C-alpha cells in the first residue's frame, strides 16, 4: 500500500532538463558496459543535471531494493532469488556465456567438455553467497576448476586471460566488445554454457514516480535501440 509520501512523489512532476537528481543502480560491469554506457550520451543530452551512481552487486542486493537504497537492480532472472518475486520487473536483453582464451593459445584445439573444463586452470570471478544462489554464474561447471587467480569483474577476467594461457567465462556481448582489442578467441564447448535474461527490478513504491518512470523508459529504449531485447 502506498504511503502519503509515496502518493506525493507519484504526483510530483519531473523535468529531466532541470533535475539535479542522483539515481543509484546496481549492475555488473558487463551490464554497465553493454547497456548503461551507450545510454549515457542520451541521458547527458536530455538530463544534464542528472547523475547515475552504479554500484556492483553485493550480498545485500535484495535488501538494497527492499529498502529503496537503489533505484534499479539489474539481475539475471535465472538466478532469481525468491525474495525478488515480490518486486516489479522488466526483461531487458538475453545473453549467453562463452569460454574465452587468448587468441594465440594453442591449448584448446577441440570442443572442451565439462569434465575437461573442471580441470583446466582458469580465471574465476569472486563469488558471494546469495542464500540459494551465487554470483559465480558458472559454478556448476567450474566448481572443481583450479582458479589461478580470482578477480572481481568479467572485464578484468578477460584482461587477465588475454595475457596468459588461462581460460574464463564471460557474457558473449561483453566478449564480442573486447575480442579484437584484447586478442581473444572463443573456445568451443561440447556442453553449452548457460543462457540468461538480464532483468530490471525496482521497488513498488517507486513504480508511479515520474522520475523513476522516466529512467526505466530510457533504459528500456536503450535496450530496444541496441537490439538487446
Which DSSP helix (H) or strand (E) runs through 165? none
Model confidence pLDDT, tens digit, residues 191-215: 877 788 999 999 999 999 999 999 9
Q: What is the average pLDDT across 56-79?
A: 91
What is the pLDDT confidence band of residue 1, given thresholds at 50, 70 and 90? very low
Q: Which of these, 166, 226, 192, 199, lies nearest to 77 by C-alpha position?
A: 199
Using the Cα atoms of residue 197, residue 200, residue 203 and residue 207 in order, give the sign of their dihedral. Answer: negative
Other Cβ atoms closer than 10 A to 96: 13
Confidence of residue 4 (pLDDT cuts 50, 70, 90): very low
* DSSP E strands, the chain: 22-26, 51-55, 72-76, 89-102, 122-125, 129-130, 133-134, 147-151, 167-171, 184-187, 195-201
- The rounded distance, in Å, linking the Cα atoms of 77 and 89 is 10
What would the grid cell of residue 133 be? 544462489
Torsional class of 183: left (φ above 0), alpha (ψ -120 to 50), beta (otherwise) = left
pLDDT band at 29 (very low <50, low <70, confident <90, very high): very high
pLDDT of residue 137: 44
Q: Which domains does the chain have, with CATH numbers?
A: 4-93+196-225 (3.40.190.10), 95-194 (3.40.190.10)
Q: Which of 96, 116, 118 is nearest to 186 (CA)?
A: 96
β-strand pairing of 22-26 with 72-76 = parallel
pTM (2 d.p.): 0.85
CA 15 to chain centroid: 28
Cell digits of residue 206: 517507486
Strands 72-76 and 129-130 turn out to be unpaired
For 177-194, write each residue's pLDDT tens digit.
Answer: 999 999 999 999 888 777
Q: Measured in whole angstroms, how far is the alpha carbon of residue 43 from the centre of its chain?
A: 19
Amino acid at each position: 500500500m502506498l504511503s502519503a509520501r509515496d502518493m506525493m512523489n507519484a504526483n510530483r512532476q519531473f523535468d529531466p532538463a532541470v533535475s539535479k537528481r542522483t539515481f543509484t543502480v546496481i549492475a555488473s560491469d558487463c551490464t554497465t558496459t553493454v547497456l548503461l554506457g551507450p545510454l549515457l550520451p542520451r541521458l547527458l543530452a536530455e538530463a544534464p543535471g542528472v547523475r547515475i551512481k552504479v554500484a556492483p552487486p553485493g550480498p545485500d542486493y535484495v535488501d538494497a531494493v527492499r529498502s529503496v537504497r537503489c533505484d534499479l537492480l539489474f539481475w539475471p532472472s535465472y538466478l532469481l532469488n525468491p525474495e525478488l518475486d515480490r518486486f516489479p520487473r522488466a526483461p531487458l536483453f538475453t545473453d549467453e556465456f562463452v569460454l574465452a582464451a587468448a587468441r594465440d593459445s594453442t591449448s584448446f584445439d577441440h570442443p572442451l567438455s565439462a569434465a575437461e573444463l573442471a580441470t583446466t586452470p582458469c580465471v574465476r570471478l569472486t563469488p558471494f553467497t546469495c542464500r540459494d544462489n551465487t554470483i559465480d554464474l558458472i559454478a556448476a561447471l567450474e566448481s572443481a576448476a583450479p582458479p589461478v587467480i580470482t578477480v572481481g569483474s568479467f572485464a578484468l577476467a578477460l584482461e587477465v586471460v588475454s595475457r596468459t594461457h588461462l581460460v574464463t567465462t564471460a557474457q558473449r556481448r561483453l566478449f564480442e566488445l573486447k575480442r579484437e582489442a584484447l586478442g581473444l578467441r572463443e573456445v568451443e564447448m561440447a556442453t553449452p554454457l548457460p543462457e540468461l535474461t538480464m532483468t530490471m527490478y525496482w521497488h513498488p513504491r517507486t513504480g508511479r514516480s515520474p522520475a523513476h518512470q522516466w529512467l526505466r523508459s530510457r533504459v528500456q529504449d536503450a535496450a530496444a535501440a541496441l537490439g538487446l531485447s
